[in-house]
Chain A
Amino acid sequence: MTRASIRERTAVAHAAAHEATEREPYHRPWLGALLVAGVAAVLGAAMAGMPREHAPLPLIARYALEVAIPRWKLTEPVNEIVYGTRGFDTFGETFLLLAAVVSVVVITRPREPRRGYFGEAAAGAREQQQDDPDVGSDAAEQEARSAERREQGEQERGGREPAETPDATPLGTPAPETAEAMTVVVRNGIRVVLPILAVAGLYLVTWGYSPGGGFPGGAVILGVLLLVYAGYGRRKISKVIRPGLIEPLELAGAGLIIMTEFLGLVFKGSFSANWLPLAPMLTPLSGGVAQLFSAAELIEVGTGLTIVVFALLGMTHDWAHDDRGEPRGGRPKR
Protein backbone atom coordinates (compact mmCIF):
# COMPACT_ATOMS: atom_id res chain seq x y z
CA MET A 1 0.00 0.00 0.00
CA THR A 2 1.48 3.35 -1.00
CA ARG A 3 1.71 6.28 1.33
CA ALA A 4 -0.72 8.31 -0.82
CA SER A 5 -3.39 5.63 -0.61
CA ILE A 6 -3.00 5.48 3.17
CA ARG A 7 -3.43 9.24 3.35
CA GLU A 8 -6.51 8.98 1.13
CA ARG A 9 -8.02 6.29 3.31
CA THR A 10 -7.36 8.33 6.44
CA ALA A 11 -9.05 11.34 4.87
CA VAL A 12 -12.10 9.25 3.94
CA ALA A 13 -12.27 7.82 7.46
CA HIS A 14 -12.03 11.30 8.95
CA ALA A 15 -14.78 12.57 6.64
CA ALA A 16 -17.00 9.65 7.65
CA ALA A 17 -16.34 10.26 11.34
CA HIS A 18 -17.07 13.97 10.85
CA GLU A 19 -20.34 13.16 9.09
CA ALA A 20 -21.29 10.75 11.87
CA THR A 21 -20.84 13.41 14.53
CA GLU A 22 -22.48 16.19 12.53
CA ARG A 23 -25.53 14.22 11.41
CA GLU A 24 -28.56 15.20 13.47
CA PRO A 25 -30.29 11.98 14.43
CA TYR A 26 -34.03 12.30 13.89
CA HIS A 27 -36.67 9.72 14.55
CA ARG A 28 -40.08 9.77 12.83
CA PRO A 29 -40.64 13.56 13.00
CA TRP A 30 -44.15 13.29 11.48
CA LEU A 31 -45.37 10.75 14.00
CA GLY A 32 -43.84 12.88 16.76
CA ALA A 33 -45.57 16.00 15.45
CA LEU A 34 -48.89 14.15 15.31
CA LEU A 35 -48.59 12.89 18.89
CA VAL A 36 -47.48 16.30 20.15
CA ALA A 37 -50.42 17.93 18.37
CA GLY A 38 -52.71 15.52 20.21
CA VAL A 39 -51.10 16.31 23.55
CA ALA A 40 -51.29 20.03 22.76
CA ALA A 41 -55.01 19.74 22.07
CA VAL A 42 -55.60 17.91 25.36
CA LEU A 43 -53.43 20.37 27.31
CA GLY A 44 -55.11 23.37 25.65
CA ALA A 45 -58.55 22.05 26.58
CA ALA A 46 -57.39 21.39 30.13
CA MET A 47 -55.79 24.84 30.44
CA ALA A 48 -59.04 26.51 29.33
CA GLY A 49 -60.76 24.93 32.33
CA MET A 50 -58.10 25.83 34.91
CA PRO A 51 -58.90 28.35 37.66
CA ARG A 52 -58.02 31.86 36.51
CA GLU A 53 -56.77 34.94 38.33
CA HIS A 54 -60.14 35.72 39.94
CA ALA A 55 -60.76 32.27 41.42
CA PRO A 56 -60.84 32.02 45.23
CA LEU A 57 -57.74 30.58 46.87
CA PRO A 58 -57.84 26.83 47.52
CA LEU A 59 -58.77 25.84 51.06
CA ILE A 60 -55.31 24.48 51.88
CA ALA A 61 -53.69 27.79 50.89
CA ARG A 62 -56.18 29.80 52.98
CA TYR A 63 -55.63 27.44 55.91
CA ALA A 64 -51.84 27.87 55.70
CA LEU A 65 -52.17 31.65 55.60
CA GLU A 66 -54.45 31.65 58.61
CA VAL A 67 -52.38 29.37 60.86
CA ALA A 68 -48.96 30.82 59.94
CA ILE A 69 -48.95 33.46 62.68
CA PRO A 70 -51.06 31.96 65.48
CA ARG A 71 -49.67 28.44 65.34
CA TRP A 72 -46.12 28.88 64.06
CA LYS A 73 -45.34 32.58 64.71
CA LEU A 74 -44.08 32.74 61.12
CA THR A 75 -44.86 35.73 58.93
CA GLU A 76 -43.78 33.82 55.83
CA PRO A 77 -46.56 31.41 54.78
CA VAL A 78 -44.42 29.81 52.06
CA ASN A 79 -41.87 28.78 54.68
CA GLU A 80 -44.64 27.70 57.00
CA ILE A 81 -45.99 25.41 54.27
CA VAL A 82 -42.61 23.97 53.26
CA TYR A 83 -41.46 23.11 56.77
CA GLY A 84 -44.72 23.16 58.72
CA THR A 85 -48.11 22.35 57.21
CA ARG A 86 -46.69 20.24 54.40
CA GLY A 87 -43.59 19.15 56.30
CA PHE A 88 -44.21 15.50 55.54
CA ASP A 89 -44.24 16.28 51.82
CA THR A 90 -40.92 18.10 52.11
CA PHE A 91 -39.59 15.18 54.14
CA GLY A 92 -40.37 12.85 51.24
CA GLU A 93 -38.87 15.22 48.69
CA THR A 94 -35.67 15.39 50.70
CA PHE A 95 -35.23 11.66 50.32
CA LEU A 96 -36.07 11.90 46.64
CA LEU A 97 -33.14 14.32 46.45
CA LEU A 98 -30.97 11.95 48.48
CA ALA A 99 -31.91 9.07 46.17
CA ALA A 100 -30.88 11.16 43.13
CA VAL A 101 -27.58 12.08 44.78
CA VAL A 102 -26.85 8.44 45.63
CA SER A 103 -27.68 7.40 42.03
CA VAL A 104 -25.25 9.97 40.63
CA VAL A 105 -22.54 8.85 43.06
CA VAL A 106 -23.06 5.20 42.11
CA ILE A 107 -23.11 5.88 38.35
CA THR A 108 -20.13 8.23 38.30
CA ARG A 109 -17.80 6.43 40.66
CA PRO A 110 -14.51 5.27 39.12
CA ARG A 111 -13.82 1.65 38.37
CA GLU A 112 -12.99 -0.18 41.57
CA PRO A 113 -9.39 -1.30 41.99
CA ARG A 114 -9.05 -5.04 41.87
CA ARG A 115 -7.84 -6.26 45.23
CA GLY A 116 -7.69 -9.64 46.86
CA TYR A 117 -8.68 -11.82 43.90
CA PHE A 118 -5.43 -13.58 43.11
CA GLY A 119 -4.86 -14.83 39.61
CA GLU A 120 -7.89 -13.03 38.20
CA ALA A 121 -5.99 -11.23 35.46
CA ALA A 122 -3.90 -14.26 34.55
CA ALA A 123 -6.95 -16.54 34.39
CA GLY A 124 -8.75 -14.17 32.03
CA ALA A 125 -5.76 -13.37 29.84
CA ARG A 126 -6.81 -15.61 26.93
CA GLU A 127 -10.40 -14.30 26.86
CA GLN A 128 -9.09 -10.78 27.27
CA GLN A 129 -6.87 -11.23 24.22
CA GLN A 130 -9.79 -12.70 22.25
CA ASP A 131 -12.50 -10.25 23.17
CA ASP A 132 -10.61 -7.07 23.83
CA PRO A 133 -7.13 -7.06 22.31
CA ASP A 134 -4.84 -4.18 23.14
CA VAL A 135 -4.75 -2.29 19.85
CA GLY A 136 -2.86 0.74 21.08
CA SER A 137 -4.20 4.25 20.87
CA ASP A 138 -4.55 6.80 18.11
CA ALA A 139 -3.51 10.46 18.23
CA ALA A 140 -6.92 11.75 19.33
CA GLU A 141 -7.02 9.32 22.24
CA GLN A 142 -3.47 10.18 23.31
CA GLU A 143 -4.34 13.87 23.30
CA ALA A 144 -7.52 13.24 25.30
CA ARG A 145 -5.64 11.05 27.76
CA SER A 146 -2.96 13.65 28.39
CA ALA A 147 -5.62 16.35 28.87
CA GLU A 148 -7.35 14.08 31.35
CA ARG A 149 -4.10 13.43 33.23
CA ARG A 150 -3.63 17.19 33.53
CA GLU A 151 -7.22 17.57 34.72
CA GLN A 152 -6.68 14.86 37.31
CA GLY A 153 -3.58 16.68 38.56
CA GLU A 154 -1.07 14.04 37.50
CA GLN A 155 2.32 15.10 36.23
CA GLU A 156 2.79 14.55 32.56
CA ARG A 157 5.89 12.58 31.83
CA GLY A 158 8.27 14.85 29.98
CA GLY A 159 5.64 17.56 29.51
CA ARG A 160 5.77 21.04 30.95
CA GLU A 161 3.93 21.83 34.13
CA PRO A 162 0.82 23.89 33.25
CA ALA A 163 0.75 27.40 34.65
CA GLU A 164 -1.52 27.94 37.62
CA THR A 165 -3.17 31.06 36.21
CA PRO A 166 -3.29 32.52 32.69
CA ASP A 167 -1.41 35.56 34.02
CA ALA A 168 1.62 33.34 34.68
CA THR A 169 1.63 31.98 31.12
CA PRO A 170 4.21 33.79 28.97
CA LEU A 171 2.76 35.84 26.12
CA GLY A 172 2.67 34.11 22.78
CA THR A 173 2.27 30.61 24.20
CA PRO A 174 0.26 28.63 21.66
CA ALA A 175 -3.28 27.58 22.52
CA PRO A 176 -4.95 25.67 24.05
CA GLU A 177 -5.17 27.35 27.42
CA THR A 178 -3.94 24.98 30.11
CA ALA A 179 -4.17 27.13 33.24
CA GLU A 180 -6.73 25.85 35.71
CA ALA A 181 -7.59 29.24 37.21
CA MET A 182 -8.98 32.35 35.51
CA THR A 183 -7.36 35.74 34.95
CA VAL A 184 -6.71 38.28 37.70
CA VAL A 185 -9.77 40.29 36.62
CA VAL A 186 -12.16 37.40 37.10
CA ARG A 187 -10.49 36.30 40.34
CA ASN A 188 -10.79 39.76 41.88
CA GLY A 189 -14.40 40.03 40.73
CA ILE A 190 -15.14 36.74 42.46
CA ARG A 191 -13.32 37.93 45.58
CA VAL A 192 -15.75 40.86 45.79
CA VAL A 193 -18.95 38.99 44.95
CA LEU A 194 -18.30 35.86 46.97
CA PRO A 195 -18.84 37.14 50.54
CA ILE A 196 -22.01 38.95 49.48
CA LEU A 197 -23.40 35.83 47.86
CA ALA A 198 -22.46 33.60 50.80
CA VAL A 199 -24.04 35.97 53.31
CA ALA A 200 -27.19 36.27 51.17
CA GLY A 201 -27.51 32.47 51.09
CA LEU A 202 -27.14 32.12 54.85
CA TYR A 203 -29.48 35.07 55.42
CA LEU A 204 -32.20 33.24 53.51
CA VAL A 205 -32.00 30.46 56.09
CA THR A 206 -31.24 32.34 59.31
CA TRP A 207 -34.06 34.81 59.06
CA GLY A 208 -36.77 32.25 58.66
CA TYR A 209 -39.36 34.78 57.62
CA SER A 210 -37.50 35.64 54.46
CA PRO A 211 -38.80 33.60 51.56
CA GLY A 212 -37.36 30.19 51.03
CA GLY A 213 -35.22 28.81 53.79
CA GLY A 214 -32.96 25.85 53.19
CA PHE A 215 -33.84 25.00 49.58
CA PRO A 216 -32.76 28.25 47.88
CA GLY A 217 -30.08 28.75 50.55
CA GLY A 218 -28.48 25.43 49.63
CA ALA A 219 -28.57 26.31 45.94
CA VAL A 220 -26.84 29.63 46.70
CA ILE A 221 -24.12 27.80 48.66
CA LEU A 222 -23.54 25.59 45.61
CA GLY A 223 -23.21 28.76 43.53
CA VAL A 224 -20.53 30.05 45.92
CA LEU A 225 -18.52 26.83 45.63
CA LEU A 226 -18.86 26.74 41.84
CA LEU A 227 -17.62 30.32 41.57
CA VAL A 228 -14.48 29.42 43.54
CA TYR A 229 -14.03 26.31 41.40
CA ALA A 230 -14.41 28.20 38.12
CA GLY A 231 -12.28 31.17 39.13
CA TYR A 232 -9.49 29.61 41.15
CA GLY A 233 -9.31 26.03 39.91
CA ARG A 234 -9.96 22.72 41.57
CA ARG A 235 -6.81 22.68 43.72
CA LYS A 236 -8.07 25.61 45.79
CA ILE A 237 -11.23 23.80 46.89
CA SER A 238 -9.87 20.26 47.03
CA LYS A 239 -9.52 20.46 50.81
CA VAL A 240 -13.22 21.25 51.27
CA ILE A 241 -14.83 19.52 48.29
CA ARG A 242 -13.91 15.91 48.86
CA PRO A 243 -16.22 12.95 49.27
CA GLY A 244 -14.75 12.10 52.68
CA LEU A 245 -16.07 15.38 54.04
CA ILE A 246 -19.23 16.31 52.20
CA GLU A 247 -20.78 12.85 51.98
CA PRO A 248 -20.88 12.41 55.78
CA LEU A 249 -22.18 16.01 56.02
CA GLU A 250 -24.98 15.15 53.61
CA LEU A 251 -25.93 12.11 55.66
CA ALA A 252 -25.74 14.19 58.85
CA GLY A 253 -28.21 16.64 57.28
CA ALA A 254 -30.53 13.78 56.39
CA GLY A 255 -30.19 12.40 59.92
CA LEU A 256 -31.01 15.81 61.40
CA ILE A 257 -34.15 16.02 59.24
CA ILE A 258 -35.30 12.56 60.34
CA MET A 259 -34.61 13.44 63.97
CA THR A 260 -36.43 16.78 63.70
CA GLU A 261 -39.54 15.17 62.28
CA PHE A 262 -39.45 12.05 64.42
CA LEU A 263 -39.14 13.93 67.72
CA GLY A 264 -42.52 15.46 66.90
CA LEU A 265 -43.91 11.94 67.08
CA VAL A 266 -42.14 11.35 70.39
CA PHE A 267 -43.06 14.59 72.15
CA LYS A 268 -46.31 15.66 70.49
CA GLY A 269 -47.69 12.37 69.21
CA SER A 270 -47.61 13.35 65.56
CA PHE A 271 -44.85 13.07 62.96
CA SER A 272 -43.50 16.50 61.92
CA ALA A 273 -45.37 18.30 64.73
CA ASN A 274 -43.69 21.28 66.37
CA TRP A 275 -41.91 20.24 69.59
CA LEU A 276 -39.74 23.32 70.07
CA PRO A 277 -40.83 26.45 71.97
CA LEU A 278 -41.91 29.24 69.63
CA ALA A 279 -39.70 32.34 69.70
CA PRO A 280 -41.23 35.79 69.07
CA MET A 281 -42.08 36.68 65.49
CA LEU A 282 -39.42 38.15 63.18
CA THR A 283 -36.48 36.64 65.06
CA PRO A 284 -34.09 33.98 63.71
CA LEU A 285 -35.62 31.31 65.93
CA SER A 286 -39.29 32.03 65.15
CA GLY A 287 -41.10 29.08 63.67
CA GLY A 288 -39.80 26.47 66.13
CA VAL A 289 -39.22 23.19 64.37
CA ALA A 290 -39.67 24.81 60.93
CA GLN A 291 -36.43 26.71 61.37
CA LEU A 292 -34.50 23.61 62.48
CA PHE A 293 -35.90 21.71 59.50
CA SER A 294 -34.88 24.59 57.23
CA ALA A 295 -31.31 24.63 58.56
CA ALA A 296 -31.03 20.84 58.12
CA GLU A 297 -32.40 21.26 54.62
CA LEU A 298 -29.65 23.82 53.91
CA ILE A 299 -27.04 21.17 54.76
CA GLU A 300 -28.87 18.49 52.80
CA VAL A 301 -29.48 20.55 49.65
CA GLY A 302 -26.15 22.39 49.73
CA THR A 303 -24.00 19.28 50.11
CA GLY A 304 -26.28 17.13 47.94
CA LEU A 305 -26.12 19.46 44.93
CA THR A 306 -22.38 19.91 45.48
CA ILE A 307 -21.82 16.16 45.44
CA VAL A 308 -23.92 15.82 42.29
CA VAL A 309 -22.16 18.61 40.38
CA PHE A 310 -18.63 17.64 41.38
CA ALA A 311 -19.28 13.94 40.79
CA LEU A 312 -20.30 14.85 37.23
CA LEU A 313 -17.31 17.18 36.78
CA GLY A 314 -14.91 14.57 38.10
CA MET A 315 -16.16 11.69 35.93
CA THR A 316 -13.08 10.12 34.44
CA HIS A 317 -13.02 8.61 31.01
CA ASP A 318 -13.55 4.89 30.82
CA TRP A 319 -10.95 3.77 28.30
CA ALA A 320 -12.13 0.18 27.95
CA HIS A 321 -12.19 -0.88 24.30
CA ASP A 322 -15.59 -2.54 24.17
CA ASP A 323 -16.83 -0.72 21.10
CA ARG A 324 -20.04 -2.54 20.25
CA GLY A 325 -21.48 0.77 19.12
CA GLU A 326 -19.72 3.10 16.74
CA PRO A 327 -16.00 2.36 16.38
CA ARG A 328 -13.84 5.44 16.57
CA GLY A 329 -11.83 6.48 13.56
CA GLY A 330 -8.80 4.27 12.92
CA ARG A 331 -9.60 1.51 15.39
CA PRO A 332 -10.10 -1.91 13.78
CA LYS A 333 -13.60 -3.30 14.13
CA ARG A 334 -14.02 -6.77 15.48
Chain B
Amino acid sequence: MILGNYLATAALFCIGLYVLLTRRNLIKIVMGLSLMEASTYLFMVSLAYRAGSTAPVLASPPAGTTARQLAHGNVADPVLQNFCLTAVVIGVAVTAVFLSVVVRIAQHYRTLDADKVRAMRG
Protein backbone atom coordinates (compact mmCIF):
# COMPACT_ATOMS: atom_id res chain seq x y z
CA MET B 1 0.00 0.00 0.00
CA ILE B 2 1.96 2.94 -1.30
CA LEU B 3 -0.47 5.45 0.22
CA GLY B 4 1.22 4.76 3.57
CA ASN B 5 4.50 5.98 2.07
CA TYR B 6 2.80 9.11 0.74
CA LEU B 7 1.33 9.88 4.16
CA ALA B 8 4.71 9.24 5.82
CA THR B 9 6.18 11.72 3.34
CA ALA B 10 3.57 14.32 4.28
CA ALA B 11 4.20 13.68 7.98
CA LEU B 12 7.97 14.11 7.55
CA PHE B 13 7.43 17.32 5.61
CA CYS B 14 5.12 18.65 8.33
CA ILE B 15 7.58 17.79 11.11
CA GLY B 16 10.27 19.70 9.21
CA LEU B 17 7.93 22.64 8.67
CA TYR B 18 6.95 22.70 12.35
CA VAL B 19 10.63 22.81 13.34
CA LEU B 20 11.17 25.61 10.85
CA LEU B 21 8.24 27.67 12.16
CA THR B 22 8.64 27.25 15.90
CA ARG B 23 12.30 26.66 16.71
CA ARG B 24 14.63 29.62 16.86
CA ASN B 25 17.91 27.74 17.03
CA LEU B 26 19.51 28.22 13.60
CA ILE B 27 21.05 24.73 13.52
CA LYS B 28 17.63 23.22 14.23
CA ILE B 29 16.09 25.35 11.49
CA VAL B 30 18.64 23.90 9.05
CA MET B 31 17.81 20.42 10.35
CA GLY B 32 14.12 21.12 9.71
CA LEU B 33 14.90 22.18 6.16
CA SER B 34 16.93 19.00 5.64
CA LEU B 35 14.02 16.95 6.94
CA MET B 36 11.65 18.61 4.46
CA GLU B 37 14.19 17.92 1.73
CA ALA B 38 14.48 14.26 2.75
CA SER B 39 10.69 13.94 2.65
CA THR B 40 10.74 14.90 -1.03
CA TYR B 41 13.29 12.13 -1.73
CA LEU B 42 11.02 9.59 -0.09
CA PHE B 43 8.07 11.00 -2.04
CA MET B 44 9.82 10.73 -5.41
CA VAL B 45 11.02 7.19 -4.78
CA SER B 46 7.55 6.16 -3.57
CA LEU B 47 5.95 7.75 -6.62
CA ALA B 48 8.28 5.68 -8.83
CA TYR B 49 7.07 2.40 -7.30
CA ARG B 50 4.79 0.13 -9.31
CA ALA B 51 3.22 -3.04 -7.91
CA GLY B 52 5.14 -6.17 -8.94
CA SER B 53 7.53 -4.20 -11.13
CA THR B 54 11.23 -4.78 -11.76
CA ALA B 55 14.00 -2.20 -11.49
CA PRO B 56 14.47 -0.08 -14.63
CA VAL B 57 17.56 -2.01 -15.71
CA LEU B 58 17.54 -3.60 -19.16
CA ALA B 59 20.92 -5.35 -18.90
CA SER B 60 19.72 -8.79 -17.79
CA PRO B 61 15.93 -9.00 -18.07
CA PRO B 62 14.09 -11.70 -16.08
CA ALA B 63 13.97 -15.17 -17.63
CA GLY B 64 11.67 -15.45 -20.62
CA THR B 65 11.64 -11.74 -21.54
CA THR B 66 13.79 -9.62 -23.80
CA ALA B 67 15.02 -6.13 -23.02
CA ARG B 68 12.54 -4.74 -25.54
CA GLN B 69 9.63 -6.49 -23.85
CA LEU B 70 10.84 -5.25 -20.49
CA ALA B 71 10.95 -1.68 -21.77
CA HIS B 72 7.24 -1.96 -22.58
CA GLY B 73 6.50 -4.03 -19.49
CA ASN B 74 6.06 -3.43 -15.79
CA VAL B 75 9.06 -1.44 -14.47
CA ALA B 76 9.51 1.25 -11.86
CA ASP B 77 9.57 4.86 -13.07
CA PRO B 78 13.18 5.77 -13.99
CA VAL B 79 12.51 9.52 -14.35
CA LEU B 80 11.70 9.95 -10.66
CA GLN B 81 14.77 7.94 -9.70
CA ASN B 82 16.79 10.40 -11.79
CA PHE B 83 15.26 13.33 -9.90
CA CYS B 84 16.15 11.73 -6.59
CA LEU B 85 19.71 10.98 -7.67
CA THR B 86 20.51 14.56 -8.56
CA ALA B 87 18.44 16.12 -5.77
CA VAL B 88 20.47 14.36 -3.08
CA VAL B 89 23.72 15.90 -4.33
CA ILE B 90 22.23 19.36 -4.76
CA GLY B 91 20.68 19.01 -1.29
CA VAL B 92 24.08 18.38 0.31
CA ALA B 93 25.57 21.46 -1.33
CA VAL B 94 22.62 23.69 -0.39
CA THR B 95 22.74 22.46 3.23
CA ALA B 96 26.42 23.40 3.24
CA VAL B 97 25.48 26.94 2.15
CA PHE B 98 22.97 27.19 5.03
CA LEU B 99 25.51 25.87 7.52
CA SER B 100 28.25 28.23 6.44
CA VAL B 101 25.85 31.16 6.85
CA VAL B 102 24.91 29.84 10.31
CA VAL B 103 28.58 29.57 11.32
CA ARG B 104 29.24 33.14 10.20
CA ILE B 105 26.16 34.37 12.11
CA ALA B 106 27.30 32.49 15.21
CA GLN B 107 30.76 33.99 14.96
CA HIS B 108 29.45 37.49 14.39
CA TYR B 109 26.61 37.60 16.94
CA ARG B 110 27.89 34.92 19.38
CA THR B 111 24.44 33.34 19.41
CA LEU B 112 22.44 30.78 17.45
CA ASP B 113 19.09 32.23 18.53
CA ALA B 114 17.44 33.68 15.43
CA ASP B 115 15.44 36.09 17.59
CA LYS B 116 18.63 37.77 18.77
CA VAL B 117 19.96 38.28 15.27
CA ARG B 118 18.01 41.38 14.45
CA ALA B 119 20.46 43.75 12.81
CA MET B 120 18.25 43.82 9.71
CA ARG B 121 15.05 44.66 11.59
CA GLY B 122 15.52 48.37 11.09
- A-side residues, CB < 8 A to B, are 20, 24-29, 31-33, 35-36, 39-40, 43-44, 47-48, 50-55, 57-58, 60-62, 64-66, 68-69, 75-78, 80-82, 86, 90, 93, 96-97, 100-101, 103-104, 107-108, 209, 211-212, 215-216, 218-219, 282, 301, 304-305, 308-309, 311-312, 315, 317-318, 320, 322-328
If the complex has contacts A43-B14, A312-B96, A318-B108, are A52 and B3 also in contact, measured as CB distance less than 8 A? Answer: yes
Bound Cα distance from A75 to B66, whole angstroms: 12
Would you call B82 and A25 a contact (CB within 8 A)?
no
B63 within 8 A of A: no
A152 → chain B, closest Cβ, in Å? 15
Would you call B110 and A327 a contact (CB within 8 A)?
yes
- B-side residues, CB < 8 A to A, are 2-3, 6-7, 9-11, 13-14, 17-18, 21-25, 47, 49-51, 56-59, 67-68, 71-72, 75, 77-82, 85-86, 88-90, 92-94, 96-97, 99-101, 103-104, 107-111, 113-117, 119
B114 → chain A, closest Cβ, in Å? 7
Would you call B103 and A325 a contact (CB within 8 A)?
no
Would you call A64 and B89 a contact (CB within 8 A)?
no
B15 → chain A, closest Cβ, in Å? 8
Which residue on A lies nearest to B81, using beta carbons?
A: A78
Chain B contact residues: over half helix, strand or loop, or mixed? helix
If the complex has contacts A211-B57, A315-B100, A325-B111, are A66 and B47 also in contact, measured as CB distance less than 8 A? Answer: no
Would you call B14 and A36 a contact (CB within 8 A)?
yes
Would you call B22 and A326 a contact (CB within 8 A)?
no
A36 → chain B, closest Cβ, in Å? 5
* A residues near B2, Cβ cutoff 8 Å: 52-53
* B residues near A62, Cβ cutoff 8 Å: 72
Bound Cα distance from A81 to B58, whole angstroms: 14
Would you call A61 and B67 a contact (CB within 8 A)?
no
Would you call B109 and A35 a contact (CB within 8 A)?
no
A209 → chain B, closest Cβ, in Å? 6
Would you call B96 and A47 a contact (CB within 8 A)?
no
B88 → chain A, closest Cβ, in Å? 8
* B residues near A315, Cβ cutoff 8 Å: 100, 103-104
Would you call A26 and B111 a contact (CB within 8 A)?
no
Would you call A311 and B116 a contact (CB within 8 A)?
no
Would you call A50 and B47 a contact (CB within 8 A)?
yes
B90 → chain A, closest Cβ, in Å? 6
Q: List 22 A-B contacts (CB under 8 A).
A: A26-B23, A27-B24, A27-B115, A36-B14, A39-B14, A47-B3, A53-B50, A53-B51, A54-B51, A58-B77, A60-B79, A65-B58, A65-B75, A76-B56, A77-B57, A77-B75, A101-B93, A215-B88, A305-B93, A317-B107, A325-B111, A326-B111
If the complex has contacts A47-B9, A312-B99, A325-B116, are A61 and B21 also in contact, measured as CB distance less than 8 A? Answer: no
Partner of A96, one of B90, B101, B108: B90
If the complex has contacts A44-B7, A61-B79, A325-B116, are A75 and B89 also in contact, measured as CB distance less than 8 A? Answer: no
Would you call B85 and A82 a contact (CB within 8 A)?
yes
User: Given A209-B59, A211-B57, A308-B93, 18 more contacts at CB 8 Å?
Assistant: A25-B114, A28-B21, A35-B17, A51-B47, A60-B79, A65-B75, A65-B78, A78-B82, A86-B82, A97-B93, A100-B93, A212-B85, A216-B85, A218-B89, A311-B100, A317-B107, A325-B109, A325-B117
Would you call A308 and B115 a contact (CB within 8 A)?
no
Which residue on B lies nearest to A25, using beta carbons?
A: B24
